[in-house]
Amino acid sequence: MPSTQNYDGTIIITISVESIDSLVRDGLVVGFFADEKPPRGLCGFVDWRLNGLISRYMSQGTIRGTFMEKVLITPDRRIPTPKLLLVGLGESSALSYDDLYRVGRTIAETLSGIHCSEGAFDIPSPYRCGLNVPEMTQAMISGFADGVLDAASGSDSQAVSILGDDSYRDEITLGINQFKVNVKHHIKVVIHEG
């Protein structure tokens, strides 16, 4: 569970199924698996928008999708978000809830480090990694909250949009609500449906 060190603010969570074409945030974070070439899911869509840039980097071995690999890309107006962060998730069959917690924490710390106070990240599809969506969501949000707590520097709020397919939106909501119950005495969490 997140600690409460020096953070008296609010985490504003928006559950969103909007297209990245209309998603305007300081930073967009997409996960990608080492064993998905070309990338699938949201990363695959972003790759398509970037004319196969991510696929080319993967085929050249420039990026691999190894666990916790981070790549910052400036999308050059092909998507409305000015900063695109790719986070490697390793092999899809090896992904765990603890791994997702670490990914969430890294997302918060990295977004803070690149001066993004409003970001968005996706929850991996359960069909790609075989994990439970509410638990994946709770793990990533818990890690994100701990990362925000560690990176807090006078900010009184942090906004994040959780992206996922509409087919498992209710499961994402369930995971976020469970996170909210777990931290109700420590962090103010505001949830918006977008």
Residues 6+ apart with CB under 8 A from 40: 33, 125, 128
Sign of CA dihedral 102, 108, 113, 116: positive
Supply the pLDDT for residue 98. Answer: 97
pLDDT in tens, 66-122: 999 999 998 888 898 899 999 999 999 999 999 999 999 999 999 988 988 889 999
The long-range contacts involving 1-4, CB below 8 angstroms and separated by at least 24 positions, are 1/142, 1/182, 1/183, 1/186, 2/142, 2/145, 2/146, 2/149, 2/183, 2/186, 2/187, 3/146, 3/149, 3/186, 4/149, 4/186, 4/187
Q: How far apart are CA 151 and CA 104, in angstroms?
A: 13
Supply the pLDDT for residue 2. Answer: 38
Instruction: Spell out the domains of the chain, with CATH numbers in brackets.
Output: 10-193 (3.40.220.10)
What pTM value is reported for the model? 0.88
**Which range, of 26-30, 51-55, 178-182, 188-192, averages the lowest pLDDT?**
188-192
Residue 29 pLDDT > 70? yes
